[in-house]
Chain A
Amino acid sequence: MKKKVNIPRLAHAFFKWYCRPEKYEELHGDLEEFFYERVEEKGLFRAKLFYTWNVIRCFQPYAWRIPESGNANVAMFMNFYFTTVRNFSRHKRYFLINVSGLAIGIASFAFIGMYVLNELSYDQFHTNYKQIYRVNNDAVIQGERNNQATTSAPIVKAIRESYPEVINGTRILRKGQLLIGKGNTKINEERVLFADSELFNVFDFKLIKGHSSTALLNPRSMVLTQSYAKKYFGEENPIGRELTVEEDTIIYKVTGIVEDVPPNSHIQFDMLASLSSTDYESTTQWISKSLYAYIVLREDADPESLQTKMKELFYKFMAPEIEYYTGLTIKEWEGAGSSVGFKLTPVADIHLYSDVTNELEPTGNVAYVYIYGLIALIILFIAIFNFVNLATAHSATRAKEVGVRKVIGSTKRTLVYQFIFESILVSTLSTFLAITLIFTCMPWFTELVGNGLAYNLTMGYEGWLFMTGLALVVGLIAGSYPSFVLSAFKPVDVLNGTLKAGGKSSWLRNILVTIQFAASIIIIISTVVVYNQIEYMLTRNLGFEKDQVLVLERPDWLKDNMEVFKADLLENPNIDIVANSQTLPGKFYKIRSYRKSGHNEVFLFSNNQVTYDHLELMGLELIAGRFFSKDHPSDSNAVVLNETAARSFGFDEPIGQSLTSAFKYGDIKIIGIVKDYYTESLHKQIAPVSLELDPKDASGYLNVKLTNAHNIRETIEFIEDKWLVHSNGKPMQYFFFDQEYENLYKSETATGKTLLVFSMLSVFIASMGLIGLITYTSTVRRKEIGIRKVLGATTSTLVKLLSKEIVMLIIIATAIAWPLAYFATDYWLQNFSDTTPINPWIYFGATMAVLIVVGIAISYQTIKASTMDPVDSLRQE
């Protein structure tokens, strides 16, 4: 009976569920017979489809568990069902507006729900995530907070030795891009991390092959994710195979395969190399913060008190090093307003709440999670309001039915049941539609939010449970009010014909419409403000030029050929300037400390190491002194500051003053001052910056300024040819500076785009409902329009008459929306140190946009109604 396995499981389960047990054998026998025949004739897939179709077709009273008409309740629900179906097929447009509006609403809600769930669930897939903490330095240097996600290399060992409540710990090191080679193919890999052997014991990255305690124990071991094992070795067994790292002579052995990292992990990697391959494993230096450290606490441990206790480690290990480097006693150093403590961040809080720099992956923002959640709710409720509005407006068409049902003996309660049943039917149908929408739009949505999603609400047990729950809740909310309105009709009024169509409950409808307008206006305003701010940030004068700069990574691969390579490039007329720099605005700046010669006060500046042409290449403006020059050999001990840095020393005449630094021997002369420029995104204030001449001329980036935007492709090919010659065939990696800089605003741009899409959707749903409403009321008032026309009213007076009420509602909505929109956008704009002024026209524009949509809908309907021959609308058969 191996055939039996092929039957679609879900459909079979459904059949089993509804089918009467005593009929199951014969009925399912028939279906099976058909199924096996189909498999032979048309193949398995078609047969499965056909079987599922048959199961759905057989979902009929003769097969049901419950007797066909024995139970009065069942008969009642059958009647409700048929009434609903008939009613909808009679009013198709009304039905379509309802179902499609709700479907879009539910789909948007589920999409955003998946995103929000993903953000909120970061790092909670580790079984003991509540006990895992990241250790990072909580440093204040002369009153200024300077916190990074990284910490001192020896810290995990020290903590484990000193505090018994810490039961495990691991460290991760990020080195940036590495050139990985298998034989002759070499690929630059971004996502390579170094980790020590406890990683798999601390975190739940599941090893498929290899041993969790030893995979990363020995130097030059490497663990690949499943997809990377496939990428490098295909279907072959990668264990024991070799990969080169950076040099052909440095060979790592593959010791394990780990499952792909879930999207909701703040630690992302494709390859893991053993930390013991680096000298960080054994370093005893505390003062440099280079590693990410994680510890596991015992369940009963108190992280707060541990955090306080850990200050001891500072005095024991770090303080002597500080004394050595600064020449101050630790009392003096602390007296100058500096301190270092250690902070424990719960691993699940890192993604949304961490506010330190140099994170492993860009973090999220809990404010955005709230904003997204709010939008999801708004869209869902706009769709529900549509349903309520249309249902109450349409109530007149059902009034006769209600009257007859009541006369026959239906109670109010059964009528309420009936209409709630109806709305649940609609919401269920919409949910099915929403699920198909989600399936088709999923890839597009993940691209929109720029992130993979760990949850799919249309898959798996929880997903289906959620969707079913959502359908029920939406149906209940949407159906409850209309059902009370409808069931309250008095039979006498209805059957007499004295009931005014759509007249009742208009106050609630007005409130709901007003809320919809207000929400639409707020959403339009917010979207435009967000877009303006992003545009502003991208086009603002940042104090440096970022256009037409091609940045080559890893210039250290050129080794001794650097100068020859640079000279070669400059021969191309399309290349203007070539200069090295250790870092670039938007990238990570190292911090350096300076002191005025003979003083103890320490100043910390963001430092960049550059070559002679950096000033010209970056388009920085020199406001005093000069930049580094080949004519002054002593420039290796000189520094150029930006205004903010120069100001902080308080010199009257900064040029020519000498400084000292722990990183250099002897005095350093200030030779020039450049105008302030942004080194980070506009979220941050302008930082003090020091520029020094790069002694090795090799680190960081090689920046190439192009003379024009033409022939870029050819120029890049030219550069690549030269690169391959001088780097001994290493692959060339490059990016355009302006594009890379825009990545700083990735989360804002993604938010902006997402906001735009969903705001358009919500406005679309709202206007759809409104058009439905207007269409209906104008058909109800067709007679009135006819009479007015006969008495001499013009089309424009009729438009005015019909739109008067709705324009009033829009005005009220505007009055509510403007202040709310102002507060919302103001709250968001506080994220930025430099913001675009808000143009009041945005506010008028939003209201105008709503007015125009409404205006078009009303005019169309009124003109249609008023150009009609009054005879047609007034004649009564």
Chain B
Amino acid sequence: MGRTYLGEFEEIVLLTVGILYEDAYAVAITKEITKQSARPVNVSAVHKSLYRLEKKGMLKSKLSDPESKRGGKRKRLFMITPYGKTALDESMDLRTKMRNQIPDLAFKWDIR
């Protein structure tokens, strides 16, 4: 599949799936992101990322039991795959690695 590419929002969704662990479905993810990042997120954006991540193989999913609070419908629960973890780690590593390469001087604005 070559280089894995992870969009910024996708990365956040992936992280949230991990955080929620056993209860990672669209509604909960939407709420979690809203809570953590304090930015308004629409459920359709989350849907889009979830399906795309699943297609890339970073997530897998299964259907839960029906629940009355959703009109007796089942929900799709998502879990991170090993490949998903690799992608997440790679992305994190890349960021930390690159962040560490910034010379301290670059942040010393008063010197210049």
Chain A residues within CB distance 8 Å of chain B? 1, 3-4, 25-34, 36, 54, 57-58, 60, 62-63
Instruction: Say yes or no: A60-B74 contact (C-beta < 8 A), given A30-B27, A31-B43.
Output: no
- What 0/1 pattern do residues 44 to 69 of B give for CB contact below 8 A with A? 11011001100000000001000101
Report the bound CA distance from A57 to B30 in whole Å: 14
Q: Which residues of A contact B63 (CB under 8 A)?
A: 25-26
B85 at the interface (CB under 8 A from A): no
Chain A, residue nearest B72 (CB): A1
* Majority SS at the chain A contact face: helix
Q: Which residues of B contact A62 (CB under 8 A)?
A: 47-48, 51-52
B63 to chain A, nearest CB (A): 7
B81 at the interface (CB under 8 A from A): no
Instruction: Say yes or no: A54-B74 contact (C-beta < 8 A), given A30-B25, A30-B27.
Output: no
**Residues A4 and B71 in contact, CB atoms below 8 Å apart:** yes
B76 at the interface (CB under 8 A from A): yes
Instruction: Say yes or no: A25-B43 contact (C-beta < 8 A), given A30-B27, A33-B27, A33-B69.
Output: no
**Residues A34 and B43 in contact, CB atoms below 8 Å apart:** yes
Interface pairs A-B: 6 shortest CB-CB: A29-B73, A29-B70, A57-B44, A26-B76, A58-B44, A33-B70
Q: How many residues of B contact A (CB 8 A)?
A: 21
A-B contact pairs, 17 of them (CB 8 A): A3-B71, A25-B74, A26-B25, A26-B26, A26-B75, A29-B73, A30-B25, A30-B43, A30-B70, A33-B27, A33-B70, A36-B70, A54-B42, A58-B43, A58-B47, A60-B47, A63-B47
**Residues B26 and A30 in contact, CB atoms below 8 Å apart:** yes
**Residues A26 and B44 in contact, CB atoms below 8 Å apart:** no
Report the bound CA distance from A3 to B75 in whole Å: 19
Report the bound CA distance from A28 to B51 in whole Å: 15
B35 to chain A, nearest CB (A): 14
Chain A, residue nearest B52 (CB): A62
Q: Which residues of A contact B47 (CB under 8 A)?
A: 27, 30, 58, 60, 62-63
**Residues A54 and B44 in contact, CB atoms below 8 Å apart:** yes
Report the bound CA distance from A31 to B25 in whole Å: 12
**Residues B69 and A36 in contact, CB atoms below 8 Å apart:** yes
**Residues A32 and B71 in contact, CB atoms below 8 Å apart:** yes
A49 to chain B, nearest CB (A): 14
Q: Which residues of B contact A36 (CB under 8 A)?
A: 69-71
Report the bound CA distance from A29 to B43 in whole Å: 12
**Residues B27 and A60 in contact, CB atoms below 8 Å apart:** no
Interface hub of A4, A29, A62 (most chain B Cβ within 10 A): A29
**Residues A26 and B74 in contact, CB atoms below 8 Å apart:** yes
**A26's contact among B42, B69, B73, by CB below 8 Å, is which?**
B73
**Residues A29 and B75 in contact, CB atoms below 8 Å apart:** yes
Report the bound CA distance from A25 to B63 in whole Å: 10
B55 to chain A, nearest CB (A): 10
Q: Which residues of A contact B48 (CB under 8 A)?
A: 60, 62
B68 to chain A, nearest CB (A): 8
**B73's contact among A28, A54, A57, A63, by CB below 8 Å, is which?**
A28
Q: Which residues of B contact A32 (CB under 8 A)?
A: 70-71, 73
**B43's contact among A1, A3, A4, A54, by CB below 8 Å, is which?**
A54
Report the bound CA distance from A25 to B51 in whole Å: 15
Report the bound CA distance from A34 to B76 in whole Å: 15
Report the bound CA distance from A526 to B76 in whole Å: 67
A15 to chain B, nearest CB (A): 11
**Residues B42 and A57 in contact, CB atoms below 8 Å apart:** yes
Report the bound CA distance from A1 to B69 in whole Å: 10
